[in-house]
Amino acid sequence: MQHLCWLVLAACITPLHALALTAAGGQRLALRPSSRSPALAMGAVRQVTTEEFEAELQDCATPILLDVFAVWCGPCQLMAPEMDKVAEHYGDRCRVLKIDADDEAEVADTLQVRGLPTVLLINDMSVVMRAEGALMADELKEIVD
Amino acid sequence: MAAAEAQYDLLVIGGGSGGLACSKRAASHGKKVAVCDFVKPSPPGTTWGLGGTCVNVGCIPKKLMHQAALLGEGMTDAESFGWEVAAPKHNWETMVGNVQGHIKSLNFGYRSDLMSNGVKYYNAYATFLDPHTVEAVDKKGKVTKITASEIVICTGGRPRYPDIPGAKELGITSDDVFALKSPPGRTLVVGASYVALECAGFIKGVGYDTTVMMRSIPLRGFDQQMAGLCKTYMQEHGVAFIEGAVPTAVEATPSGAKKVSWKLADGSVGSGEYDTVLFAIGRDVCTSAIGIDKAGVKLSSNGKVPTVNEQTNVPHIYAIGDIIDGEALNPPSATTELTPVAIQAGKLLADRLYAGKSALMDYSMVATTVYTPLEYGAVGLPEEEAIKLHGEDNIEVYHSYFKPLEWTLPHRGDNVCYAKLICLKPEGERVIGLHVCGPNAGEMTQGFAVAIKAGATKAHFDDTVGIHPTVAEEFTLLATTKRSGDSAEKSGC
């Protein structure tokens, strides 16, 4: 497994903000506090957009397990229920997110995703672990632990 | 906001098959490379991802939908082979969904491929500011000013609409048909290009009433005897043809259908109602809105780019793919608008520019296949061209009608499939044209193309032992010349 230093990612995240800025009509994107409701978030995989993902990144309270997937990707479908199990297992100790590589292509590019699914563990704004290919719940938990 | 600026060794404008292949090859030679690709929505609003025409709105979806039609035919045949199946029912939405899913996976693959090869991708529309600089604007309006030492233009083409009322408002083209969310219903295909006949073929093949409106000849540029066989097969399988007609207007009817009016060659007029009107009357290259004058690149009157070894009149600017002018090549080529041609040209160009190689693109003897319901594969010259170029006395044509073994049980037509070899007599009957109408024509033609590229003669074909029972073995058995006047048909039982 490959460790990516935050420096690399940080350099890429900046233009990501710039993109969001333009979308917001030139106004600075307000970094909202995470809007998720604890009741909903508890133990469920949440699909996020680019903007939502950026907001999640700013929140360093818990690690993020991110599944970059696509609807046409067979192994991604295979892994989806495994991600559910992981989300349930960690509850509010880990945010389990997924992002559609087609809809949010800039994020996939920024995160250097070259194959699907790609699972990234993000802690304190750094990608600390990444894995390509479908993993079972046990393997996913190993990444988080 | 000031435009961002970036500098590269090579800038490729257009992320189709040719551009991507060229960019990756250049990067593999250690160059700093960028690709700009941007798809302007079609009039009905269809748009797509990285990869160009072939991947998104051409070869890939059309072959998959052709396969859908073949499977339908196969299910009908299956009964004669003992399968007891309920009458098959086709679901358009399922087909489109799966085809589009596959295309998205290819789009993703291309993006990730560029990343792996260190090629910078701009999903932005590039316009020349001067011969070394373009302005690339992305969908959010962000501008990047890109300069490059060398530039490859490969912006491809888009379907042409006729200049008649209602065409753009109510019609669709091949840019849209592969992503149609609801079934096409009664369909009128206007045109008789390979795009037209392929689309009409699969739309009919998956179960919709289909009519082709053609002005003159089918498959212009292809061998006309073969084109006739493709058309006859379609007619015999329920595709209606309105010949010698051009559309004059498309109107919406109160019921939501499209009423198409047309004019026939004899001056009479006609009209009909359809659910879908698909225009496939030709394609225009995308060279008119990229500021090409600012680059100083000269164009032919049809907007195509004359090139010598892919180089334009501006020494550091090159062109590959659909936009190059095949007529201006020496010798002229009718097979420039093909994905593998663009890929080959792009790779060889990058090798010459950045790896000191010298191999040139050979645009002759390029094999191709038309995926009409009866497939048609060809390498080399059409018979008419061969005669025009070499004189009738110097040409020997060997030919045969045949029926694939697999067609016998379901009693599908006799003497429907056809094979011919066009040989140049003064050169020891070197094969200069191979044409075949039959199942899997593409698979057959590809292999023969290697032999023909290597200079195969009729004797080489005769010396080759066939594989029995195949369709391709027909080429090892050709004994009848057209000149003899003997029948090339095979008799029945």
Q: Is the pLDDT of residue A7 over 80?
A: no
Give the integer Cα–Cα distance in Å for B433 and B156.
Answer: 28
Residue B405 annotated as part of some ligand binding site:
no
Which tokens hold the place of B233? Answer: 């097969």
pLDDT number for residue A39: 43
Per-residue pLDDT reduced to its tens digit, B184-207: 999 999 999 999 999 999 999 999
Is B248:B263 a contact under the CB 8 Å cutoff? yes
Interface of A with B in 43-62 (CB under 8 A): none
Q: Is some CB atom of chain A closer than 8 A to the CB atom of B117?
A: no
pLDDT of residue A27 exceeding 80, the answer is: no
Comparing CA positions, the residue from B325, B359, B329 lying closest to residue B344 is B359
DSSP string, B301-362: TTS-B--BTTB-SSTTEEE-GGGB-GGGSSS--S--S-HHHHHHHHHHHHHHHHS---PPP-
Rounded to the nearest integer, the mean pLDDT of chain B is 97
Q: Hey, which bits of B109-142 come out as E strands?
A: 120-122, 124-130, 133-138
Q: Residue A61 above 80 pLDDT?
A: yes
Of B29, B90, B435, B468, the catalytic one is: B468
ipTM score of complex: 0.77
**Does the beta-carbon distance from B141 to A22 stay under 8 Å?**
yes
Q: Which of B293, B285, B295, B269 is nearest to B325 (CA)?
A: B285
Cβ neighbours of residue A136 closer than 8 Å, sequence gap 6 or more: A82
Largest CA distance in chain A: 44
The answer to whether the CB atoms of A19 and B107 lie below 8 A apart is: no
3-state class (DSSP) for residue B137: strand
**Which DSSP state fits A32?**
P
Q: What is the mean pLDDT of residues B362-366?
A: 94
* Out of B102, B104, B142, closest to residue A102 by CB: B104
How many CB atoms lie under 10 A from the CB of residue A119? Answer: 26
Amino acid letter at B399? H
A1 pLDDT more than 80: no
- Residue B368 or B3, more confident: B368
pLDDT score, position A42: 60
pLDDT confidence of residue A18: 35
Q: Is the pLDDT of residue A118 over 60?
A: yes
Q: How many angstroms separate the CA of residue B102 from the nearest CA in chain A? A: 7
Q: Is B316 a catalytic residue?
A: no
Range of the domain at A120: 3-25+34-144
> Is residue A14's pLDDT more than 60?
no
Across the range B233-245, mean pLDDT stands at 98
Per the structure block, which two tokens stand in for A75?
A: 């192994």
Q: Which amino acid is at B398?
A: Y
Domains of chain B: 8-156+286-355 (3.50.50.60), 160-281 (3.50.50.60), 375-479 (3.30.390.30)
Query: Contact A19/B140, CB-based, under 8 Å?
Result: yes
pLDDT at B3: 81
Pairing of strands B240-243, B317-319: unpaired
Whether residue A101 lies within 8 A of chain B, CB to CB, comes out as yes
Predicted pLDDT of residue A10: 36
B196: CB partners within 8 A, 6+ apart? B189, B190, B212, B214, B278, B280, B281
In whole angstroms, give the CA distance from residue B229 to residue B219.
Answer: 11
Q: Is pLDDT at A22 greater than 90 in this prediction? A: no
Residues 6+ apart with CB under 8 A from B13: B19, B36, B126, B134, B151, B152, B153, B154, B155, B290
Chain B contact present for A144, CB below 8 A: no
CB-based contact B262:B165 (threshold 8 Å): no
CA B25 to chain centre: 24
Q: What is the average per-residue pLDDT within B239-266?
A: 97
Worst-scoring range by mean pLDDT, A124-128, B25-29, B77-81, B222-226? A124-128
Q: Which residues pair with B311 in a beta bridge?
A: B308, B318
The band of B492, judged by pLDDT with boundaries at 50, 70 and 90, is low
Mean pLDDT of B149-175: 98
Per the structure block, which two tokens stand in for B150? 């060398």
Average per-residue pLDDT for chain A: 78
Q: Is B110 helix (H, G, I), strand (E, B) or coil?
A: helix
For the cut 50, the answer to whether the pLDDT of residue B284 exceeds it is yes
A6, A121 Cβ separation under 8 angstroms: no
Exposure b/e, B419-455, CB count within 10 A at least 16 = b = bbbbbbeeeebbbbbbbbbbbbbbebbeebbebbeee
By DSSP bridging, strand B269-274 and strand B258-264 are antiparallel
Report whether pLDDT(A20) > 60. no
CATH number, domain of A10, equals 3.40.30.10
> B421-444, pLDDT tens digit by residue?
999 999 999 999 999 999 999 999
Percent of chain A with pLDDT strictly greater than 70: 71
Closest CA to B336 of B317, B350, B321: B321
- Tokens linked to B430: 């070197």
DSSP state letters, B78-96 = HGGGT---PPP---HHHHH
What is the structure's pLDDT at B85? Answer: 87
Residue identified by tokens 């096409």 is B184
Number of domains in chain A: 1
Closest CA to B379 of B420, B416, B345: B420
pLDDT, position A43: 74
Average pLDDT of the segment spanning B9-22: 98
Contact present, B402 and B387 (Cβ < 8 Å)? no
Whether B193 has a binding-site annotation, put simply, is yes
pLDDT digits (tens, 9 = 90+) for B396-423: 999 999 999 999 999 998 999 999 999 9
Contact B104 A113 (CB under 8 A): no
Q: Is the pLDDT of residue A19 over 50?
A: no
Give the Å distances, CA to CA, from A107 to A10, A49, A95, A98, A101.
Answer: 13, 9, 17, 11, 8
Chain A contacts in chain B segment 448-487 (CB below 8 A): none
Helices (H), chain A: 6-23, 38-41, 50-58, 74-90, 105-110, 137-144
Reported as a pLDDT band with limits 50, 70 and 90, residue A11 is very low
As a whole-number percent, the residues of chain B with pLDDT over 90 amount to: 97
Q: Does the structure show a pLDDT above 90 at B95? A: yes
Largest CA distance in chain B: 79
